[in-house]
Amino acid sequence: MKNKNPLKKAIQIGAGNIGRGFLAQLFTHSGYEVVFVDIDERLISALNKNKSYTIQVIGNSLKKIIINNVRAVNIKEKHTAIDEILNADIMAVAVGVNALEKVAPLIAAGIKLRFEQNIQKPMNIIICENLLNAGKVLKGYIKRHCDCFQYIDNKIGFVESVVSRMIPVVPEEIRKNDPTLIRVEEYCILPVDKKGFKGEIPSVEGMIPYDNLKAYEEQKLFIHNLGHSSFAYFGYLKEYKYIWQAVEDKEINGRVRDILNESGTALIKKHGFTEKEMQEHIEDLFKRFANKSLGDTVYRVGREPIRKLGINDRFIGGAKLVLEYGIEPENICTGIAAALCYDYPEDEQAVKLSSLLKDNKIDEIIKKICQIDPESKLGRLIVNKYTDLI
């Protein structure tokens, strides 16, 4: 007997780590067929051949989840992809910040077709990018390619999210045999912006709508990202390869706890988290970071130190937040000093940072990389901590 209730359809722009290793799992477990739109022809062919793929969930034991009811379209097949968007129930985007502008014309063309065919049912786009105001940014890109502004404003939801699931790189020798295989940690919660939705909020497993997503965005940046990166940089200084080794090191563990005590206290004051909530969140993160089976390296987590030392990123942004709430960012500045010492030779930004430090005084680096006045309170604190560390 044929199924009288066909599956709802989710369009997943981007079949990479987040798309395949997180969002598609949430969608399929919530009764959706998932149509990936990607550029990797090898991956697309494999997904279309099997109509399914495997997620290995790495916790205390290895668990395999088969994700069924999937297929894929190459983004170059524009008309096919647009037709898929025409009758989609929901969409998610996870392509990386740099590619967001590149996929906007395709999404815009799909929205325009929905407008021309008078589809009144709203479509919500879940945006899973590490970008401030990602909804506003994507909406702006789309409006450059689509003149049905009122339809976009009324019928298309731009829903920001906070992605915290850790998904390590699958070794190339394994990918050769199965390009669709992906490994993930157990954590499976997706906070989303309740205010971004149009129409009824769809029921998706693990997706939790919040009125104040900003609180969870800042918690991700100034607790998860700050803590993770701090473990990487302190671990690198002790010549560890894996994050779990840094977590198990009592000295490093204590240092990172002190860092997160500063940023956590500021977030409690700003957003009203309880101390219990914050402490439980930090303890949960430390357990997740200590997962040996993930095989996460200090090099992956510590990559691109110049970006991570930017004015609004985890370290400097965290230090500024802490100062704003009357707390001395002593420990965060020790973390900043460790980040400044990251000189891994296979990381382009680390090599550049190391070269800049050889040719310039630390004051100049703080001014240029961190955009902080070296004579300011924060600037002096960073200089002192860096001097102590070297």
Close Cβ partners of 167 (under 8 Å, ≥ 6 residues apart)? 17, 18, 21, 22, 182, 183, 184, 185
Q: Are residues 243 and 159 in the same domain?
A: no
Q: Which domain holds residue 250?
A: 215-389
Flag whether 25 is in a domain: yes
Check pLDDT > 80 for residue 6: no
Taking CA atoms, 254 is separated from 227, 257, 367, 388, in Å, by 11, 5, 29, 18
Flag whether 325 is in a domain: yes
Q: Where is the domain boundary, 150, 183, 211? A: 211
The CATH number for 50's domain is 3.40.50.720
With 0-12 / 13-18 / 19 or more C-beta atoms within 10 angstroms meaning exposed / middle / buried, residue 284 is: exposed
Across-strand partners of 54?
Answer: 66
Q: Are residues 158 and 229 in the same domain?
A: no
Q: Are residues 206 and 228 in the same domain?
A: no
Flag whether 3 is in a domain: no
Do the Cβ atoms of 282 and 224 come closer than 8 Å? no
Taking CA atoms, 232 is separated from 50, 293, 301, in Å, by 38, 17, 6
Total residue count of the chain as it appears in this document: 390
pLDDT at residue 5 in the model: 60
Pairing relation of β-strands 70-74 and 32-38? Answer: parallel
Can you tell me the distance from the alpha carbon of 249 to that of 247, in angstroms, rounded to the nearest whole number?
5
Question: How far does CA 347 lie from the centroid of its chain?
Answer: 20
Q: Where is the domain boundary, 193, 211, 229? A: 211
Each as own residue / partner, the long-range contacts of residues 319-325 (CB below 8 Å, 24 or more positions apart, any chain) are 319/378, 319/381, 319/382, 320/378, 321/218, 321/222, 321/263, 321/266, 321/267, 321/270, 322/262, 322/263, 322/265, 322/266, 323/377, 323/378, 324/266, 325/265, 325/266, 325/269, 325/270
Flag whether 2 is in a domain: no
Q: Are residues 250 and 315 in the same domain?
A: yes
Q: Of the candidates 312, 127, 96, which has an alpha carbon nearest to the alpha carbon of residue 225?
A: 312
Taking CA atoms, 266 is separated from 30, 132, 148, 321, in Å, by 37, 20, 43, 7
Q: Are residues 340 and 272 in the same domain?
A: yes
Please give the DSSP secondary-structure letter assigned to residue 97: G
Between 62-71, 241-250, 357-366, the lowest mean confidence (pLDDT) is in 357-366
pLDDT at residue 256 in the model: 99
Q: Which helix (H) or strand (E) holds 330?
A: helix 330-340
Q: Where is the domain boundary, 152, 182, 211? A: 211
Q: State whether residue 190 is helix, strand or coil.
A: strand
Q: Are residues 198 and 239 in the same domain?
A: no
Using a pLDDT cut of 70, give the percent of the chain over it: 99
Give the confidence band of 152 by pLDDT, cuts at 50, 70, 90: very high
Q: Are residues 127 and 264 in the same domain?
A: no
Check pLDDT > 70 for residue 1: no
pLDDT at residue 2 in the model: 45
Q: Are residues 252 and 222 in the same domain?
A: yes
The CATH number for 358's domain is 1.10.1040.10
Q: Of the candidates 188, 171, 186, which has an alpha carbon nearest to the alpha carbon of residue 64?
A: 186
pLDDT in tens, 184-201: 999 999 999 999 999 999
Query: How many separate domains does the chain show?
Result: 2
**pLDDT (average), residues 138-157:** 96
Q: Of the candidates 74, 136, 144, 77, which has an alpha carbon nearest to the alpha carbon of residue 104?
A: 144
Q: Are residues 251 and 176 in the same domain?
A: no
Flag whether 1 is in a domain: no
Flag whether 255 is in a domain: yes
Can you tell me the distance from the alpha carbon of 80 to that of 73, in angstroms, rounded to the nearest whole number?
7
Flag whether 102 is in a domain: yes
pLDDT in tens, 83-134: 999 999 999 999 988 899 999 999 999 999 999 999 999 999 999 998 878 9
Q: Are residues 161 and 13 in the same domain?
A: yes
Angle of the 314-324 helix axis to the 226-237 helix axis, nearest 10: 120
Q: Are residues 205 and 278 in the same domain?
A: no
- For 370, the token pair is 């961190």
Give the confidence band of 215 by pLDDT, cuts at 50, 70, 90: very high
Flag whether 236 is in a domain: yes
- For 246, the token pair is 């840094």
Between 5-14, 121-130, 215-224, the lowest mean confidence (pLDDT) is in 5-14
Q: Are residues 159 and 301 in the same domain?
A: no
Q: How far apart are the first and last CA of the chain?
A: 72
Can you tell me the distance from the alpha carbon of 160 to that of 141, in angstroms, rounded to the nearest whole number?
15
pLDDT in tens, 352-385: 999 999 888 899 999 999 999 999 999 999 999 9
Query: In terms of pLDDT, which residue wins out, 54 or 61?
Result: 54
φ, ψ for residue 10, nearest 5 deg: -115, 130
